[in-house]
Amino acid sequence: MDRFKLKILMTIFMILGNIAIFFKGAPFWFNYVGQIALPVFLYLLVEGYFKTSSRNNYLKRLLLASEVIFLGNNIMSLIGHRAMDGGALLLSSFNYTAYIVFSCIVILAIILIVLTYKTDIITDKKAIIFIFLMVISNFILNYAFNTKLYILPNNILLSMSAAFVMLNGMVQIRTGHTTIAFIKVLVAVSLGICTQSLIIGPAFVFIFYKCFNNRRDMYLATIVFSALFLPGFNIEKMLQYPVWMMVFCIPFIYFYNGEKGKDFRKFFYIFYPVHIWILYLLSIIL
């Protein structure tokens, strides 16, 4: 199975997982297969980090896409006027201060997009600042709206941007720049935990990076880490809390042959946010 086919399959799994998130009546197994997509995408990120011809351009694409999604998610959240419990909200539920804060964050997002697009070299420091601004903005929005507004959390490319900076730091540690690189890794991990991937993202990136040339250790580490999310050995609870099913990413990584296949890159950067926004709007309308 080449990279193109694997990405297509994981994209289908991701769609099913997101359908389960936005539509509570979706088949229960949608959420199960959705658990497999994230670790596989993170594995492909680590592999892409080693194989890319330009790490700067790779980081720039990730960061730019995450900023566009950040802008779109916030606009969609306000348009939808959806409460945290999924119910509708009235305009009277908000105050002018909240809308001023929202307007400032939208302007910030546009500025970040322009700066990233026009910057030739994206340094780790600049990437960390941009990621931090997006992460803190979501916390500010929740505070401004008194946590009433459902802010779309779906931005896996923001998680990947933080993971990429983390990878840069780990590579620098191996070359002897220990102190600065360690701080960089620590900050990147902290930011990654504040994104959609939570601790799962940084943990899998670390596993895949350290064990990239040792599949046996990679699989063992994946099994052990996934087992940490087991809610006990009660079948009912295991099916109710399926995060541990990330372990089933192993067969897909095993059968991946490392070949590139067709270029899927641009399609994913466009399809990912569009499908999130469509599902979000449909969940409000239906």
Give per-residue pLDDT as tens, 212-248.
Answer: 999 999 999 999 999 999 988 888 888 889 999 999 9
Q: Is 93 exposed, middle or buried (0-12, 13-18, 19+ CB in 10 A)?
A: middle
Does residue 113 contact residue 127 with C-beta atoms inside 8 Å? no
Segment 248-270, tens digit of pLDDT: 999 999 999 988 878 777 888 99
pLDDT at position 109? 95
Instruction: Determine the average pLDDT of the residues in 32-37.
Output: 95
pLDDT at position 90? 63
How far is Cα 200 from Cα 229, in angstroms, rounded to an integer?
A: 10
pLDDT at position 87? 67
One-letter identity of residue 68: V
Residue 194 has, within 13 A of its CA and on its CB side, a CA count of: 18
Q: How many domains does the chain have?
A: 1
Residue 68 has, within 13 A of its CA and on its CB side, a CA count of: 17
Does residue 165 contact residue 59 with C-beta atoms inside 8 Å? yes
Length of the chain in terms of residues written = 286
- Domain hosting residue 242, numbered range: 3-285
Q: Is the pLDDT of residue 17 over 90?
A: yes
pLDDT at position 177? 74
How far is Cα 76 from Cα 55, in angstroms, rounded to an integer?
A: 31
* Share of residues in the chain with pLDDT > 90 (%): 66
One-letter identity of residue 9: L
How far is Cα 68 from Cα 110, in angstroms, rounded to an integer?
A: 8
Query: Would you give the DSSP letter of residue 195?
Result: S
Q: Is the pLDDT of residue 56 over 70?
A: yes
Q: Is the pLDDT of residue 41 over 80?
A: yes
- Global pTM? 0.92
On average, the pLDDT of the chain sits at 90
